[in-house]
């Protein structure tokens, strides 16, 4: 597939088509309050960090979002345990307070459903790395959501993240793409995303009864959701995996 990759800064007229591209995220992931507060701001406020790919017909088939932030700030220095949520908060806090960024974090790489399986995620990761380098950065970090972890929701992420194949590459396909691109697996972010909601909301999102106390396995979730029927709520705390790309 021939692709044309651009940024929204270069082509602002594509904003609606990029943000409106279909995806396959589980419904519950659309309800992380930190993501709801900040994700949509990236395309508007940081368009130079939003890349998109068009196919031969001019259809948007993938996009890649990232954000700049100050990892070396005196109160930071380490990649945060709260992963995806925390780096979004840091990025927009830095922007509000005029703090100069020193690192770029990947936020998402999304391929349209009909274009999946053609290697577009690796191509968008490469484009994101190139874009960060062009902006003057020497590192990209990523709170990776391993693509096959949902098949093993009861496996500890600390074990899964560092599992390798016979050739030494990661067991997980999406982690493998990052390592092949030059990344190093750094650490687990144990609380990268958090979704707390009423049982009625979880039932609507998943079609599951959510009527028994304890751990509920939900399609698409990397770990079970903790259900508290007597209190009327359930909480999902998703671990991700921090990787680092030197540029």
Burial of 98 (0-12, 13-18, 19+ CB in 10 A): exposed
Closest CA to 177 of 154, 139, 145, 137: 145
Q: How much is the pLDDT for 1?
A: 78
Closest CA to 144 of 186, 200, 92: 186
**What would the pLDDT profile of 76-118 be if each residue is shown by its tens digit?**
999 999 999 999 999 999 999 999 999 999 999 999 999 999 9
**What would the pLDDT profile of 200-236 be if each residue is shown by its tens digit?**
999 999 999 999 999 999 999 999 999 999 999 999 9
Cα 161 to Cα 235: distance, rounded to the nearest angstrom = 22
Rg (C-alpha) for the chain, rounded Å, is 18
pTM summary value = 0.96
Closest CA to 162 of 82, 104, 242, 108: 242
Q: How much is the pLDDT for 56?
A: 95
Mean pLDDT of 175-180: 98
Q: pLDDT above 70 covers what percent of the chain?
A: 100
């Amino acid at each position: 597939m021939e692709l044309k990759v651009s940024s929204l800064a270069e082509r602002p007229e594509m904003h609606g088509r990029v943000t409106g591209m279909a995806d396959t995220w589980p419904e519950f992931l659309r309800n992380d309050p930190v993501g709801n507060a900040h994700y949509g701001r990236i395309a508007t406020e940081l368009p130079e960090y939003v890349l998109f790919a068009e196919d031969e017909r001019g259809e948007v088939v993938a996009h890649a979002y990232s954000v700049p932030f100050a990892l070396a700030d005196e109160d930071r220095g380490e990649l945060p345990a709260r992963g995806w949520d925390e780096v979004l908060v840091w990025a927009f806090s830095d922007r509000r307070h005029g703090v100069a960024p020193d690192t770029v974090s990947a936020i998402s790489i999304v391929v349209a459903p009909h274009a999946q399986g053609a290697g577009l995620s690796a191509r968008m990761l490469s484009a994101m790395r190139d874009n960060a380098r062009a902006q003057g950065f020497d590192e990209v970090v990523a709170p990776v959501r391993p693509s096959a972890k949902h098949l093993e929701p009861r496996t500890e992420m600390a074990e899964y993240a560092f599992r390798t194949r016979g050739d030494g590459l990661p067991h997980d396909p999406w982690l493998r793409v990052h390592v092949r691109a030059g990344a190093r697996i750094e650490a687990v972010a144990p609380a990268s995303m958090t979704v707390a909601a009423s049982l009625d909301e979880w039932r609507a999102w998943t079609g599951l009864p959510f009527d028994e106390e304890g751990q509920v396995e939900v399609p698409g979730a990397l770990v079970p959701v903790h259900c508290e029927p007597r209190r009327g709520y359930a909480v999902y705390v998703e671990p991700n995996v921090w990787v680092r790309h030197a540029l």
